[in-house]
Amino acid sequence: MSKIKIMKEVLANKIAAGEVIERPLSVVKELVENSLDANSTEIKIELKDSGIKKIEIKDNGSGMSETDLPLSIKRHATSKLYDDKDLFKISTLGFRGEALPSIYAVSQVTIASSTDGIGGRKLVKVDDENYNIEPIAMNKGTIITINNLFYNTPVRYKHLSNPFYELSLVVQYINKLALIHPNVSFVLVNNDNELIRTSGNGDIRAIIANQYSASIAKSMISFKCSNEHFEVVMYSSHPHDTRSRKSHITIGLNERLIRNYDIENKIIESYGTFLHTGQYPIAFINVKVNYSLIDVNIHPTKQQVKISLIDSLLDLISQNIKQELGQLTYMAEPVNIKANDYQQYTENQTREVGEQLDELFSDVKPEPSRVFTDVSRVNYMSDTSEPTSKKEDDVFKMNSDNVNHSEDLFSLEADDKKVTIEQKLPLFNYIGTLHNTYIICENGEGLYLIDQHAAQERINYELIIDSFKRREFNYQQSLLPVVIQLSETEDAIFKPRIQETENFGFKVEEFGVNSYKVTEVDSWINNRKNSEEDIIDMINTIIDKKSTSFEHYYDEVAISMACKKSIKAHQRINQSEAEDLLATLNKTNQPYTCPHGRPVIVKITTAEIEKMFKRVF
């Protein structure tokens, strides 16, 4: 007797449902994508108990004929693929012919549809093998009602999460889909409460404003760009509007919502030192590409795709994000501070103020007590006026560990004996320091607090990264016989990469078992106090290297070295040193954040101070 038998279609459908239908979100996703493929411009999703008890999808799409309606619940029945050639030019969101049959197999289903808005047909499931079809009067489009999801597969029902979590997944999905299809009106209702409504008028910023806030939408950078293969539309948050999770990055590919870690990571990486550790941008990107360059048939949910020539796309994204970010100028600004909050300072004022300032500088993510502002409101010096510093031709000399190329990077141009310098920082006067950590300055706009460690971190970072990128090294014999001893594991990783040390300005050669000797170094390393420690840091970075991008590679080393070689908090500096520091900070490309993304400067406006003292209301 044969052990192999043909599986009943009902059982096969239930097994297939296990691949496609995991939770209410799966149903919503598959049916809404069908609505979009039917050229719907209005889609309404109504849920009961987060979709566990009921899901109804109503659209104004092309509808199904009387003949097509019963075929829609049959496996491998599709209106989107007819032969194998179509697999190489998939332009629809759904195409497998499994979604609706899988949903039908694990729920109680009613499907009503009309192609002309005059008359239609309604299919009602009776049991796993039977259904009824009856005429119905309805508008053009389709209404699919799903009741009691997983009623006949109790194991799967048991593994659903709580209703709040299931609902959050649907809300997040519709929010993302609305960005990718701004010309479609989406409405999401749960237990008669309207959660989402979009106009469908194509206004992406309005959709972002509804999901986050008007201020976030307004401050977002945006651009359109293209190359030979890709067209990109992107909106990405100002560096002060960040989140602690990557899930706020939305990626669309030919109007399909996808997950692509290469694109996601490139967006994050492109922010560089604008992002504080553990923070991620809010971003939306929609990519258009010839269908022949993508494969969407690699995963049952179709959210993961393969993209040919993806490096070309990543470069396009990165270049434009960096260009837009490079035009930003901002600083931290505390707001909504109540005057009576200062009563707590009376017992131990110095300690309390210091703690609040430490907290203020600890994270670039906006909290209720502060916002960020564009310093274009502050007076710039962009002509031939003299800089704030009394020693404008000097670079910051208070720390002898600084890189020797500082004169090249931060050089000043003389013209008719006048010094011309782009004034990136506002003009202000030095007052003093707080806790040997924060430099205090003032001008007509208000009070400024500058974190001395973060400021020099930014200076050192740009000096080091510039040395790396130029790669015009002047090699010298190493002043110290530096020998590096590695473990067997480290040696196995480092040996094939030994020449990569030359990208950082030093050369090594093998020197016994698992050992290497530094033979030549660039002058910028030779002139640093702790050059041996720097070299070890760079070798460790090569060993731990995770990114193939040298740009990211350099960042890892430069950030680490900049932090270690910068003046520390609670280290005393005098007025001359503070002014030198600020003059040099003004010459950096981005003086408002440290390499870790923390703010360098906090501004308290005169108006805010007057409010604290009840001078104004």
Helices (H), 48-153: 68-71, 99-105
Q: Which residues, given as ranges, of the chain have pLDDT below 50?
A: 81-84, 86-88, 90-91, 94-97, 335-354, 356-357, 360-420, 548
pLDDT tens-digit readout, 414-448: 334 344 456 788 888 999 999 989 999 999 889 99
Q: What is the pLDDT of residue 250?
A: 94
Structural contact between residues 80 and 37, judged by C-beta atoms closer than 8 angstroms: yes
302: left (phi over 0), alpha (psi -120 to 50) or beta: left
Contacts of 560 (CB under 8 A, 6+ apart): 537, 541
Comparing CA positions, the residue from 528, 283, 491 lying closest to residue 406 is 528
Q: What is the pLDDT of residue 581?
A: 93
3-state secondary structure 346-394: CCCHHHHHHHHHHHHCCCCCCCCCEEEEEHHHCCCCCCCCCCCCCCCCC
Phi and psi (nearest 5°) for 222? -150, 150
Tokens of 334: 């505390």
Reported as half-sphere exposure (CB side, CA atoms, 13 A), residue 2 has a value of 3
119-125's contacts with Cβ under 8 Å and 24+ in sequence apart are: 120/63, 121/64, 121/66, 121/69, 123/69, 123/70, 123/73
CB atoms closer than 10 angstroms to residue 414: 10
Q: What is the pLDDT of residue 287?
A: 94
Q: What is the pLDDT of residue 306?
A: 83
Degrees (nearest 5) of the Cα angle 528, 529, 531? 65
* Residue listed under structure tokens 């209720």: 368
CA distance 457 to 602: 16
What does each C-alpha distance from 434 to 38, 329, 353, 361, 451 come to in angstroms? 65, 25, 9, 14, 10
